[in-house]
Amino acid sequence: MKIICEKEKLLKAINAVVRGVPTRTTMPILEGIYMQTNNNELKLTTYDLELGIEYIIEANIEEEGNTVVNATMFSEIIRRLPDAEIKLTVTENKLLVIECEGSLYKLSTMNPEEFPELPKIDVENSLETEQIVLRNMIKKTIFAVSNEENRPIFTGCLFETKNDKLNIVAIDGFRMGWVSKTLAKKTDDFKVVIPGKTLNEVNKILTDSFESIRIGISKNQGIFEMENCKIVTRLLDGEFLNYESVIPGNWETRIKVNRNLLQGCLERVSLISSSSIEKEKKYPVKINIDIGKITLSCTNQTGDAKEEMYLETEGQNLEIGVNPKYFLDALKAIEDEEIFIEFGSNISPCIIKPIEKLENEYIYMILPVRLK
């Protein structure tokens, strides 16, 4: 195998595929990048048996071939090489020779025949959207995915197409994030749960561009296809929560608030809430809602915090405890200047939603914390 390619293109491909290399494995072959030539293209592939990434770049192929090289070592060398053409050669004794200007490296390789093939996916349902749209939708929900493996279905996001809309939902048992976007193309209704780990890696590869991305779904596998990159993933089995049934239809108290001002108040009060003296203990922030005013407060061994905001209120006065991190995660994901926050009782979930129903809809639901 002999290849000449631009460093910039090769590094972009490596940065994408290394996300499919497992951090721990008993199979050394999976720690490698599989490289294969085809006419004037070089294909790089990684696969941890759950998530596989394939990236194709243009290259000057002087001699066809394939090999597997350790991903960490290969990526670190390429990253540090001069910005110039790189020559890759596999010798007869199976060494990968890397040449770039005055640099020369030789790496041992692994048997490419041992590298597992990515699953062949027989797509049954699919949708297409723009990369920037999908990237924003994932960013607005991924933080609410559960990390607890005892409820595996909640370690992923629900992708649901209904009435030509894409809904993405994440739930961790204490909060929920839901975003919705109308699709430009007519799409059949379907729903699947995609692992949060996959979506985190997909989001790092997506760009803020209007280039399209196609998501294809089979019985237990999903595929994300972009111009020169393909990501395959297993899907999560199980029944996702019927999220529409748990969103409260009515409210007893509602406030209209400037998102930035509320975020600033919560960030300051949470300095006391997440006390440095008691690292393991997090204290709730108490929210008092009176006519035209809310008060945020927290008291613990570190000290006291209190913030007041004057704003529009409707309905009953209320005292409720909240986890400030859950509120802040949601507020940071919202771009609107003003939002509604709706409350039922002090033991029912509160809802963060837009003032007006826009093209990009969202709802964040957060369970309260009992106050002592």
* pLDDT classification of 283: cutoffs 50, 70, 90: confident
Q: What pLDDT sits at residue 273?
A: 83
**CATH architecture of the domain formed by 247-366:** Roll (3.10)
Residue 48 identity (one-letter amino acid): D
Hey, is 322 helix, strand or coil?
strand
**CA atoms of 293 and 317, how far apart (whole Å):** 10
331, pLDDT greater than 90? yes
**CA atoms of 147 and 143, how far apart (whole Å):** 10
What are the structural domain ranges in the chain?
2-114, 125-244, 247-366
**CA atoms of 174 and 213, how far apart (whole Å):** 31
Q: What pLDDT sits at residue 238?
A: 93
CATH number of 2-114: 3.10.150.10
Q: What pLDDT sits at residue 302?
A: 82
**CATH architecture of the domain formed by 125-244:** Roll (3.10)
In this structure, the number of other CB atoms found within 10 A of the CB of residue 114 comes to 13
Q: Do domains 2-114 and 247-366 have the same CATH topology?
A: yes
Kindly compute the dihedral angle of the four CA atoms of residues 273, 362, 336, 287, in this order, to the nearest 10 degrees: -30
* pLDDT classification of 192: cutoffs 50, 70, 90: very high
Residue with token string 């993933």: 233
Q: What pLDDT sits at residue 356?
A: 85
* pLDDT classification of 371: cutoffs 50, 70, 90: confident
* pLDDT classification of 70: cutoffs 50, 70, 90: very high
Residue with token string 């409707």: 314
In this structure, the number of other CB atoms found within 10 A of the CB of residue 149 comes to 8
List beta partners, residue 2: 63, 89
Average pLDDT over residues 24-38: 95
Average pLDDT over residues 174-198: 95
Q: What pLDDT sits at residue 277?
A: 54
Average pLDDT over residues 199-211: 94
C-beta of residue 216 within 8 angstroms of C-beta of residue 222? yes
DSSP symbol at 279? T
In this structure, the number of other CB atoms found within 10 A of the CB of residue 355 comes to 11
List beta partners, residue 55: 44, 229
**CA atoms of 17 and 208, how far apart (whole Å):** 19
**CA atoms of 63 and 183, how far apart (whole Å):** 44
Predicted TM-score (pTM) of the model is 0.92
